[in-house]
Structure 1
Amino acid sequence: MDVFIVGITGKVGGLLARDLLSRGDTVRGLVRREEQRAELATHGIDAVVGDIADMSAAELAAAFGHADAVVYGAGSNGGAAEVTKAVDGEGVAKAIEATRRADTDRLALVSVLPESWRERELGDEVEYYFAVKKEADIALSRSDLSWLILRPSLLVDDPGTGAVSLGPAEFHGQISRADVAATLAELLHEPRIGRQILELNTGDTPIRDAVRANVRP
């Protein structure tokens, strides 16, 4: 496959790129700085330098090119509201339009479980982040693309276990970024998965089996 990752320099994006490369896939991505592009090139990854907040849908479509699938993994992580709006909201909207314009219709979005952190007192910026993420999920789910929305629970940097709990509704716990990336790579390689919202948590089911269990009849 030829996969384009928006957010390839993030933790999940970087792990996903490694997983896909190990499968023999072509991996490309969007970076903000030339030194990032040069570093990725040493690993056999082509990258386009640009800022998702400033690029037009047409520019983004040109970057996507002939990708078999686009992954949108960029996120503000609940920072300043203007960044959240530009990256988690308007960025996703541009990616939807760019995917339509490019030679692919497959777009996977890494989102967030709506229940995340609900046991805590959240500030206005984090509440806004959850609202924008929800709006982006809705926009993609109403598009005519072959879309996938993956909602992982709390992300941690623990080593991956290779086993998860994956389905339309999951409890909120925590999951390693390595297992999120491995699950996403497996989902991208399952063409029967599409137009689905899947939630992801730590579990006991091997990733390949968990993905196959969500193939619709």
Structure 2
Amino acid sequence: MRTVIAGGHGKIALLLAELLTRRGEQVAALIRNPDHAADVTAAGAEPIVLDLEHAADDALLAVVKGSDAAVFAAGAGPGSGAARKYAVDRDGSVRLAEAAERTGVRRFVQISSIGAGEPPAPGADDVFAAYLDAKTQAETDLRARDLDWTIVRPGGLLDSAGTGRVTLAPPPVARGDIPRADVAAVVAELLPATPSVGATLVLVSGDTPIDAAVAQLGVAKGRAVQTD
């Protein structure tokens, strides 16, 4: 299996690349800065220098073509303004999803954010409101596409070691934090999990082992089908 990851030098992306390559899969990691190639290679992935904001369509299509899955793990990052939130967190996802659709790469996992799809909390600053709006618009775009998509909305991201135990469920889910290592592990588990297709899932730390949390999505989906 070959997975292309946008935002390939991000902390979650590097952890995900290591997990996927450790189980024998191929990973192509998109990076903007060639100086980051060594870190990507150390994680077992193939670094591909390609700026989602400015790359030509043909270049992006060539990178995505032939993959089995695509993961959007990019973000404008701290210190960026509202314009870059839209340029990266929204438009970057839209471009990757469009490339996947055009090249026949059906599986697509989008890493969004808890709070997307909701009004910003009272007192939130304009940049954070733009961030959530950009994530919300990216989700809306993805849902309209002919892809086998899953949207993951992690809670507050931590650099602590993963616990291997999470709460993973459709909203509403109480806000909470989650180690980046657990986000990567959940995405790795979700990629081959067909019951998660078409689901928007909130992810925070919890009590359920990751494999069981993903397996329960299939049980819940089966119940929903039987109920309809």
Q: Which runs of 5+ in 1 are unaligned?
A: none
- Call closer, same or farther: CA 1:31–1:202 in 2, change over 3 Å: same
1:47, 1:203 → 2: CA distance? 33
Alignment match, 2:14:
14
Matched, 1:25 2:25: yes
- Partners in 2 of 1:95 and 1:76 — Cα distance? 15
Look up the equivalent residue of 2:103 and give its one-letter code: A
Q: Secondary structure at the match of 1:137?
A: helix
CA RMSD of aligned residues (A): 1.9
- Using a 3 Å threshold, how does the CA distance of structure 1 residues 125 and 185 change in structure 2: closer, same or farther? same
User: Does 1:178 pair with 2:193?
Assistant: no
Unaligned runs of 5+ in 2: 223-228
Give 1:209's aligned residue: 212
Distance 1:70 1:173 in 2: 27
Which string of whole-angstrom CA distances, capped at 9 and with x for unpartnered residues, describes residues 71-123 of structure 1?
0000124621221111011111111210012241111100001179x667321
Aligned pair partner of 2:126 in 124, 127, 130: 124
The 1-side partners of 2:92 and 2:39 are apart by 24
Question: In the alignment, what sits opposite 1:90?
Answer: 91
Matched residue, 2:110? 109
* Displacement of 1:38: 4.3
Output aligned runs, 1:8-87, within 5 Å: 8-77=8-77, 79-87=80-88
TM-score of the two chains, using structure 2 as the length reference: 0.88
Q: Distance in 2 between matches of 1:176 and 1:151?
A: 13
Q: 1:155 to 1:141 in 2, by over 3 A?
A: same
> Which of the residues 188, 193, 197 maps onto 2:196?
193
Instruction: Report the 3-state secondary structure (helix = DSSP H, G, I; strand = E; otherwise coil) of the residue aligned with 2:71.
Output: strand
Using the TM superposition, name which of 120-129 and 174-183 deviates more. 120-129
Structure number with the higher helix fraction is 2
In structure 1, C-alpha distance between the alignment counterparts of 2:163 and 2:17, rounded to whole Å: 18
In structure 2, what residue type is equivalent to 1:88?
D
Residues 123 and 147 of structure 1: CA distance in aligned 2, closer, same or farther (over 3 Å): same
* Alpha carbons of structure 1 residues 160 and 44: separation in structure 2 relative to 1, 3 Å: closer
Identical aligned residues as a percent? 35
Say how many residue pairs are matched: 217
| 1:52 partner SS | coil
1:52 CA drift (Å): 1.0
Q: 1:50 to 1:106 in 2, by over 3 A?
A: same
